[in-house]
């Protein structure tokens, strides 16, 4: 499933309705959390009981609740509590894990999960202190119930200690990438002085390496579209290739050989495996590494950088030269005997995907990453039922375009709430509706910046001080 496909699985939600909010949540739009009825005067304050997974139906009103208080803060879970007298029959109705929603004059303002229940029973004659106290965090706390998994699953190898969302990751959508340009390897293999094979990339290109093993003659040299044997622009190109390892395949070890002019980084399943320095035109240029794998889909990716110093004049060839090229083969290897299979399972050819000299490194938007993680929690692991996102992979909850980024990563096993907070340090502001499990997220510093009603939200006026405006630190505390 491609990133962004989760949108099509969530189905249509209820029609959006504006509703009055306070503090951190002012000015949002939510799915029908409004509870007031025409012709009915809503109480100043009330609490209602709800149960998961569907927060919308009201199980019961809790008119006997008092000492209701809550703290709502942007990018934070918040907390709340209430008290019900033990003599009230409803004191035994709420259970741990239930949801309580506070409403002010008919408007949903905060919802929270009951995590702690404390019953106080003392001597007769002091009944007014015989109460049950309920307390717990805001709805965002349900994000703690799911954790970040490796992109290929927990039992896949190579083992991922850190999950990265980038152009080199397995689940990146490279459908917009095109094919590379290719040049066949010269079919002129000759043994070198020590019996090794010398592989000629092309006549006079300067890209020749002596190596102990480079057995595949059909391997093709990749280069940038429009480049020649002699000359290619300076800059960086990106390449990817998917591979499938069958369940019944006994091989669990791959050996990878590569050559790159000028320098490159090679990734396997999003993890950096090998980096080279400047091309030396010697045997030392040969890249060789091994990867332990599991059955399933894997991706090998490479970033190749060509010198930006400009072309150099070659007196010997009477040409301006600055070549760029990359070649790679992947073989299965017996991890016990070290025997290498005679034929490669992957080699560079025109089936690879490439993006040449993009203005910036390809990546994901924060919205795409959050959609992907919710898809994995709900549709792959059947978690977080009812949670929905009020933004897309392209725009935030206010319609602001997400910037593309290449630095989104977290440790495998991080719970979703912690991950959201990590993103909140750099990229986003987020909040969950009190009337549903709908999460809103905004480009950091832009939430509500274009609104003129409800409350004035001001972006920071000093770029070195994020608290110089009220947009970053807006919070609301209520005690009745």
Alpha-carbon span 253 to 331, nearest angstrom:
9
Residue 454 clears pLDDT 80, i.e. is over it? no
In whole numbers, what is the pLDDT of the chain averaged over residues?
79
- Which of 109, 46, 31 lies closest to 438 in space, CA to CA? 31
397 has pLDDT over 50: yes
Domain end point (choices 331, 356, 381): 356
Closest CA to 384 of 419, 427, 423: 419
Residue 106: predicted pLDDT: 77
Residues 285 and 389 in one domain: no
Q: Is 1 part of a structural domain of the chain?
A: no
Q: Does the pLDDT of residue 2 top 50, yes or no?
A: no
Evaluate whether residue 12 is within a structural domain: no
Q: Does 72 or 4 have the greater pLDDT score? A: 72
Q: What is the pLDDT of residues 314-354, one digit of tens each?
A: 777 677 888 888 889 898 888 778 788 888 888 898 999 99
- Quick one: 58 and 82 in the same domain? yes
Interacting residues of 396 by C-beta distance below 8 A, sequence separation 6+ = 367, 402, 428, 441, 442, 443, 446, 447
For the segment 182-223, what is each residue's pLDDT rounded down to a tens digit?
875 544 444 444 434 444 444 333 444 444 445 565 678 888
Residue 246 maps to a domain: yes
Structure confidence at residue 44 (pLDDT): 77
Q: Do the domain assignments include residue 116?
A: yes
pLDDT bucket at 157, cuts 50 / 70 / 90: confident
Confidence of residue 463 (pLDDT cuts 50, 70, 90): low
Considering only residues 285 and 16, tell me which one the structure prediction assigns the higher pLDDT: 285
Which CATH number fits the domain that encloses residue 253? 2.60.120
* Residue range 65-84: mean pLDDT, rounded: 92
How much of the chain, in percent, has pLDDT values that exceed 90? Answer: 43
Looking at the structure, tell me whether residues 245 and 290 fall in a common domain.
yes
pLDDT tens figures, 275-286:
887 766 666 677
Supply 479's token pair: 């005690």
Judge if 219 and 349 occupy the same domain: yes
Is the CB of residue 325 less than 8 Å from the CB of residue 347?
no
Question: Do residues 58 and 118 share a domain?
Answer: yes
Question: Residue 29 has which token pair?
Answer: 């739009």
Q: Is a pLDDT exceeding 80 seen at residue 262?
A: yes
Model confidence at 135, in pLDDT bands (50, 70, 90)? very high
Residue of 322, 324, 326 whose CA lies nearest to 349: 326
Other CB atoms within a 10 A radius of the CB of residue 123 amount to 8
Range of the domain at 249: 167-356
Q: Do 193 and 292 belong to one domain? A: yes
Task: Note whether 69 and 171 are same-domain residues.
Answer: no
When pLDDT is cut at 50, 70 and 90, the band that residue 12 belongs to is very low
Please tell me whether residues 221 and 348 are part of one structural domain: yes
* 340 shares its domain with 311: yes
Q: Identify which has the larger pLDDT, 104 or 95.
A: 95
Judge if pTM exceeds 0.85: no
Tens-place pLDDT, residues 420-435: 999 999 999 999 998 8
Kindly report which listed range (96-110, 199-213, 251-265, 365-379) carries the lowest average pLDDT score.
Answer: 199-213
Closest CA to 330 of 278, 291, 284: 291
Question: What pLDDT is recorded for position 98?
Answer: 96
pLDDT digit string, tens, across residues 347-383: 898 999 999 999 999 999 999 999 999 999 999 899 9
Q: Which residue has the higher pLDDT, 134 or 217?
A: 134
Q: Is residue 147 part of a domain?
A: no
Q: Compute the average pLDDT of residues 151-156.
A: 82
Q: What is the reported pLDDT for 311?
A: 77
Domain match, 407 and 391 both: yes
- Among 104-113, 349-358, 471-480, the range scoring the smallest mean pLDDT is 471-480
- If we measure between CA atoms, which residue out of 141, 77, 154, 161 comes closest to residue 409? 161
Q: Of 356, 388, 417, which residue constitutes the final position of a domain?
A: 356
Of the three residues 330, 356, 382, the one that is the final residue of a domain is: 356
SS3 334: coil
> Is 129 contained in some domain?
yes
Total domains present in the chain: 3
pLDDT at 269: 92
Q: What is the dihedral of CA 443, 445, 448, 449, to 10 degrees?
A: -120
The pLDDT of residue 197: 43
Tally helices (H) and strands (E) across the chain.
Answer: 3, 34
For residues 210 and 287, state if they share a domain: yes
pLDDT value of position 288: 85
The yes-or-no verdict on residue 107 having pLDDT over 70 is yes
Q: Is the peptide bond before 53 cis (omega within 30 degrees of 0)?
A: yes
Q: Tokens 């947009």 — which residue? A: 471
What is residue 98's DSSP assignment? -
Answer yes or no: is 188 within a domain: yes
Non-local CB neighbours of 149 within 8 Å, separated by 6+ positions: 163, 376, 381, 412
**Which of 135-149, 193-207, 313-327, 391-405 is least confident?**
193-207
Task: Identify the residue with better confidence: 73 or 187.
Answer: 73
Distance CA 222, CA 215 (A): 17
Domain identity same for 61 and 136: yes
pLDDT tens-place string over residues 53-70: 888 889 999 999 999 999
Tokens of 441: 């997220």
């Amino acid at each position: 499933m491609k990133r962004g496909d989760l949108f099509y699985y969530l189905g249509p939600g209820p029609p959006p309705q504006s509703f009055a909010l306070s503090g951190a949540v002012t000015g949002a739009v939510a799915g029908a959390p409004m509870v007031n009825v025409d012709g009915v005067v809503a109480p100043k304050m009330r609490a209602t009981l709800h149960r998961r997974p569907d927060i919308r139906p009201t199980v019961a009103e809790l008119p006997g609740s008092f000492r209701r208080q809550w703290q709502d803060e942007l990018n934070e879970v918040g907390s709340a509590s209430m008290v019900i007298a033990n003599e009230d029959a409803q004191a035994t109705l709420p259970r741990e894990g239930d949801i309580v929603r506070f409403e002010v004059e008919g408007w949903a303002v905060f919802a929270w999960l009951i995590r702690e229940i404390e019953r106080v029973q003392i001597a007769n004659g002091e009944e007014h202190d015989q109460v049950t106290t309920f307390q717990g965090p805001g709805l965002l706390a349900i994000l703690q119930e799911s954790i970040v998994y490796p992109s290929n699953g927990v039992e896949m190898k190579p083992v991922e200690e850190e999950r990265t969302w980038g152009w080199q990751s397995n689940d990146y959508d490279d459908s917009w990438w095109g094919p590379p340009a290719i040049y066949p390897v010269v079919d002129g293999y000759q043994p070198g002085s020590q019996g090794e094979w010398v592989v000629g990339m092309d006549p006079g290109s300067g890209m020749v390496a002596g190596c102990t093993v480079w057995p595949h003659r059909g391997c093709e040299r990749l280069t940038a579209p429009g480049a020649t044997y002699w000359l290619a622009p300076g800059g960086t190109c990106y390449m990817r290739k998917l591979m499938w390892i069958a369940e019944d395949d006994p091989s669990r070890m791959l050996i990878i050989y590569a050559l790159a002019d000028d320098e490159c980084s090679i990734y396997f399943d999003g993890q950096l495996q090998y980096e080279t320095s400047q091309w030396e035109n010697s045997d030392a240029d040969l890249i060789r590494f091994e990867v332990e794998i599991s059955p399933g889909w894997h991706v090998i990716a490479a970033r190749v950088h060509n010198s930006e110093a400009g072309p150099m004049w070659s007196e010997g060839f009477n040409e301006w030269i600055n070549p760029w090229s990359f070649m790679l083969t992947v073989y299965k290897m017996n991890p016990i005997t070290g025997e290498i299979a005679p034929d490669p399972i992957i080699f560079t050819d025109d089936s690879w995907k490439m993006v040449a000299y993009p203005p910036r490194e390809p990546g994901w938007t924060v919205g795409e990453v959050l959609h992907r993680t919710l898809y994995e929690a709900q549709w792959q692991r059947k978690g977080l039922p009812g949670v929905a996102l009020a933004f897309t992979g392209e725009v935030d909850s206010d319609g602001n375009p997400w910037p593309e980024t290449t630095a989104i990563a977290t440790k495998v096993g991080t719970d979703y709430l912690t991950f959201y907070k990590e993103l909140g340090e750099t990229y986003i502001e987020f909040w969950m509706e009190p009337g549903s499990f709908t999460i809103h997220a905004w480009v950091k510093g832009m939430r509500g910046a274009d609104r003129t009603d409800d409350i004035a939200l001001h972006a920071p006026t000093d770029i070195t001080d994020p608290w110089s405006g009220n947009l970053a630190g807006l919070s609301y505390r209520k005690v009745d």
